[in-house]
Structures are given as structure tokens and as C-alpha cells.
Amino acid sequence: MPIVSAPVTHYENFPVASFLCPARLRAPIAALYHFARTADDLADEGDATPAQRLQDLQAYRQDLVAACEPAAHGSARWPQVFLALRAAIQKYQLPAQPLHDLLDAFVQDVQKSDDRTGYASQAQLLDYCHRSANPIGRLLLHLYGVTEAQSLALSDHICSALQLINFWQDPSVDLPRGRNYFVQQDCIRFGVLPADLRACRQTPEAARMIAAAVADARARMLKGAPLVHLVGGRAGWELRLVVQGGLRILDKIEALHFATLVRRPVLKWWDAPMLLWRALWM
């Protein structure tokens, strides 16, 4: 799902700071972006030890708890994040649980990277997506005033698809950092050796496994795509571009013959006309 922010230094696959976002929602959406981006940096950036990362994330969670309290409390460590987030929570009655779910996912990232364990099954990986990606979509729908169960379910499909697309786009980056999102069942099914993954060795077996993962991600995205017709106005057009951005990344992975263990496809400025055209005809 799209996140609008102040200037961003991280690479983003999908629309950030889009003019399509309703002006009245730019501040709360920016607050959500900075909350998630800062937590991600605590879990992943720099040279902190796993124990220090977990300690920082616990302190970050304490600031989140304080921000959700009615009485005003400042943040000693991250005021630039939690002052804006508190204002968004109070003004729009944002639910706290999705924010805690996001932090749970970041904690899991640290733990998985530390012990080098991956995911045994697709169900385990989707459970991670349920906490790492789906909360963002649900929080945005809350801001847009969309609360129907059908819309929430469609949003979950889109957000999980976006997370999976990011995984299959980024193994050349993730694997050297200890993050392995290829599930063990699939590795066994396609005959992919753990040593080949650790070395980012692009084998025919790995290409077939990535091809199957890409097909699954595409099916999930298309399953959620009808949400674009349930979210009105400029937000609906933003969502169309998000969906098409994800599908375009899958196109690029296919064009590389699924060799993302050695190459990382990204969106370029010249992809914009195609995204706009496809968005128009959704």
C-alpha cells in the first residue's frame, strides 16, 4: 500500500509522496511512514548487535505505548517520530494493534537474521506478511474511512503480494544480510541447495523456484486488485499505481529469467507511462 512521506533517502518500489494522496491525509500518512521506516532502520541498518537492536525496538515499543495514551508524553529518543504519530492517533483514532504488529515483524527480522533460520512453510511466511505488510494497508483504509470486511480482505491480498514481490526482487540483497525468505518446503520441492542460496548462486533449480514464487505473488495481487474500485477519489488512483507498480516489478523479474539471486530489478522513470496506461484500464 502507498505511504506518503517527507523526502525519502531509501529506495522505494512504489509511489511515495504522491500528489495523488489527499492533502488532508498527508500528515498522518507521513507519520505512519516515519514510524515504520525508523523501526525498520533499527532492525536492519548500521552495525548494532542483535541484542542492541532488540533492546532499541523494545524502547521504541514503549514510546508507541506512550503515544497511544490520552495524556501527553514526550519521547526521549524519537520525538521526530512519535509527536506526529501521537497527533495522527488522536485525530483519526488509529488502532494500536496494527502498529504493534509491525514492531513484532521487525523483531522477528532481527531474530531470523541472527540465527539464520528461514521459514519452513508458505503458511509461516504469510503469517510474517500478515504482521509486516498487511497492517499498513489496514491503517490506510482506516484513514480513508474504508472499513468493510471485503475491502480489508482485498487490502491484505495486495499488501501480502507487495511484501512477497519485495522478497523475490531482493534476494541478492537479503541473503548476504542473513534474511532468507525462500521457504524450506519450496527449496526441497525444487531441489535448491541451501549452500547455493547462501552464495547467491543462480541455478536452474533456483530460477524455477523463483518463477513459481512470482506466479503466486501475481495471483495474490490480482486477487486483491478489485479494491481499486472500492476506494474512491485520488486515493483510488494512488492504489491503482501501487498495484501496477508491483505487477511491473514481476514483469521485470520475468524478463531477467528469474535471475534475481544475481540481479535486482527496479522501476525506472520510463516505466511511468506504462503504469499510468495500465492503471487507467483497471
In this structure, the answer to whether residues 165 and 267 fall within a common structural domain is yes
Boundary residue ending a domain (88, 115, 142): 115
Amino acid at 98: P
Q: Is 91 in the same domain as 206?
A: no
* pTM as predicted: 0.88
Enclosing domain of residue 36? 22-115
Task: Give tens-digit pLDDT for 129-186.
Answer: 999 999 999 999 999 999 999 999 999 999 999 999 999 999 999 999 888 999 999 9
Alpha-carbon torsion angle 95, 101, 106, 108, nearest 10: 170
- 4 in any annotated domain: no
Query: Among 1-5, 30-34, 67-71, which is the least confidently predicted range?
Result: 1-5
Classify residue 33: in a domain, yes or no: yes
Q: How confident is the model at residue 18 (pLDDT cuts 50, 70, 90)?
A: low
Q: Of the residues 90, 115, 140, which one is the last residue of a structural domain?
A: 115
Note whether 264 and 127 are same-domain residues.
yes
Cell (9 digits) for 63: 514510546
Same domain, 232 and 111: no
Number of domains in the chain: 2
Residues 249 and 183 in one domain: yes
pLDDT at 239 over 50: yes
Quickly tell me which residue has 508491483 as its cell.
246
Task: Calculate the alpha carbon distances from 120 to 50, 148, 157 in Å.
Answer: 22, 33, 21
- Of 94, 115, 136, the residue that ends a domain is 115
Within this chain, do residues 144 and 274 fall inside the same structural domain, yes or no?
yes
Q: Give the residue-averaged pLDDT of 72-83.
A: 79
17 lies in a domain?
A: no
pLDDT, mean of residues 246-251: 96
Confidence at residue 10, expressed as pLDDT on a 0 to 100 scale = 45
Same domain assignment for residues 67 and 159: no
Whole-number pLDDT of residue 72: 60
DSSP type of residue 176? G
